[in-house]
Structure 1
Amino acid sequence: MPDPFSDTSSGRLVAEQMPGDNAPAMSVSELSSALKRMVEGEFGHVRLRGEISGWKRAASGHAYLCLKDADAVIDGVIWRGAAAALPFAAQDGIEVIATGKLTIYPGRSKYQIVIERMELAGEGALMALFEKLKAKLAGEGLFDAARKKPLPHMPRTIGVVTSPTGAVIRDILHRLGDRFPSHVLVWPVKVQGEGAAAEVAAAVQGFNALPEDGPIRRPDLLIVARGGGSIEDLWAFNEEIAVRAVANSDIPVISAVGHETDTSLCDFAADLRAPTPTAAAEIAVPVLADVRHTVATLAHRTERCVRRYHERAGERLAALVRVLPRRDALLGPQRQKMDDLAGRLDRALERRVTLARARLDRDAGALRPAVLDQLIATAKHRFEGASRLLDSVNPDNLLERGYVRVGAKASGKVVTTVAEAQAAGAITLQFRDGPVDARVERAAGKSYTAVKPEQPSLL
């Protein structure tokens, strides 16, 4: 039987089924499907430990990555639902343990793992992620001291972001009640597990969004608090969404996450870190008794200062009074000068009266009857001459001598020329005993010659 795989068959141009040939030709798809069934049947759910590389989230929500160790690499895919449920923000360089099903992608003939769950590979990997995220946010300046805001001395309203059922909120309220009873607003959130970081961020942003004059007063101070636990328990306060919300808060924030030895990234982003939630309440408000004592002390010091100031002012006034001159010594020269001026005024008035009386006597002697008669006769003669002149220039007197005054009927204006009479048309003739209306007419071929009247002589 000829061997179908021997060199003697290599010279055939067209492939043919040879007798005894038990290896029929397979399509690429058939081979890929067979391999896929074999791999998926042999390897069900597997757990792989490796470092994430090439992390990429598609627009569809699916995530693609590679898991690698020192000697090998395998592709991985996380479908959208599983990717949304990841308990941490995946990124390159993080060592994880991925649980999923091994399969083959026929389109590229590559085997890959479909990851259903992915966890950090122990606390070491979690700390590596912590340090990596810390370095990233620090590089953006979120932890800079220049960003820190001063805390209000006596906040009227305090906002607390924590679980409403844990011991943390009871400790905070109890401590505030002992030290300085304040108005407290609690925004309940999950402090552990899936979605906790998003709720913490939403609470901080929600407090900041409250209007200052709204029905719910905007807090003057925020406390983000949680009890102690492992780094995994506190991880919600290390996630980027929560850290950025705390760093960007316009309201001052005290971070009180865990116990004194616990540290979260929210502690670095907050304006002040408290070692415990109870310590945060102590930092937030002063002791009421201390405030009252301080106020009383300041009031007593103020009273003493006012009294001392009054006493010193009295002493200075008394000293000034002693060095001031007496009233008589101060006013004596002015009194004497006033008496002198009063005497001079009396004498001046008396002299003015004497001079005025002499002038009156002199002028009265000049007013004799003969002089007055002469003045009256002169004035009468001047008056009569002026009256005669006025009569001579009065135009109405000319009418008594036969003259007529011509005026335009419409305007009443005196007419002195033929042209003005023709232009007026209707005229008024003023005679000695009254006016007469007349109309100007002109015969054909005739002209008028204006005759200039005699001017009366003035008497």
Structure 2
Amino acid sequence: MQRPVSDTPPTLTVGQLNREARRLLESHFDFLWVEGEISNFAAPSSGHWYFTLKDSAAQVRCAMFRNRNQHMRVTPENGMAIRLRCRVSLYEGRGEFQLIVEYLEHAGAGALQAAFERLRDKLQAEGLFAAARKRPLPAQVDRLGVITSPTGAAIHDVLTVLRRRCPAMEVLLLPVPVQGETAAGEIRAAIERANRWQAQGLVQLDALLVTRGGGSLEDLWAFNEEIVARAIVASSLPVVSAVGHEIDLSIADMVADQRAATPSAAAELLSPDQREWSARLAQLEQNLASRIQIRLRQAKRELLHLGERLRHPGHLLREQAQRLDDLEQRLRRAQRTLLRDQRSRLLLLESRLQARSPETRLRNLQEQVARLEQRQQRGMGSKLQDAATRLAHMAQLLDSVSPLATLNRGYSILTDGAGQVVRDAEEVNPGDLLDARLARGRLRLEVKQR
């Protein structure tokens, strides 16, 4: 009897199950946007962010790794409402469903961005961003109206720069909140109030600065409201806008007569450098003094000319006498100068003549002859010594082969009557006379026999 085939599925380990579940989740879901409130936020030393995203009905664990969060301008905090772009996954180690976050922003930022773009396009179509509409800033700002928070970093930065660059500039602070529901209305009211005071002669301002420090799009939203943009456009005073950091760009920046990247940059834009002013003032003072001197000289010449026409002859004589004294002094000075120059020239020529004197040249030649004589004597002594050495050597060699050396050893040389050397006894006969040369002296010999 056959046993039935079993329909039991294969047994999985926990790790295999979690891995399959993770693959299923990641393959089923594409990137998606999720909105909620942050809780249990943690940022360990690894740099990764971990938190729970929840709403009134549920919660889910989230992880945002360091390579993604280091570029975020928003730092999560517990209780913060955010909107994040993520992919669905599962942490295999705990079998925990989680979201891997790629990007996050404040909740509602997407809607704010859309509203920003709509207003931007609308105002641009009306020509409010056109450079031809905007007013130039005055060449010199003596009194500046600043519309910002009295406790924010922006007013501190502006005043710090102005104290350094132009302490003489007067600043009128029109305090307003720079974020929140009422901020846009109060900013518009401050712009209108400054223009009204200007028209009524209550204050005298040269320009307005609308500014605040950096923040998120939501923090900067008051400066993206249409009422603020239209108040800036309607202002009779030139308006500079410096909202946020350099990368931030608000509607207020676009419609303002001049945009600055930061509050500090706006302060530098509106204020001259006192060092440049000092240099310019010194230059103007120098030009003024020069013109005054020129005018005084002209007036003096005219006065002297008129005075000459009315002058008493005695005055003329005194002037001529004084002039004669002056010319005499100048002549004496010229003579002294000429004598000094001639004396210097004479000394120079004397030194040159001394350098070319025959006596000096003769002395130099004598010294040269003495040196050559010494060299000749040394050379001749050396050559004589070498010659004596060679002569002694040659004499020794010659003596070694000389016949006289043989005679000194007791030998003699015999020659016949013809003076021929006798080498063989057969060459002579008895009765022949022979000469014998000894080492010392000669002998006359007669051959008796052979």
TM-score, length of structure 1 as denominator length: 0.40
Q: Select the structure that is richer in helix.
A: 2
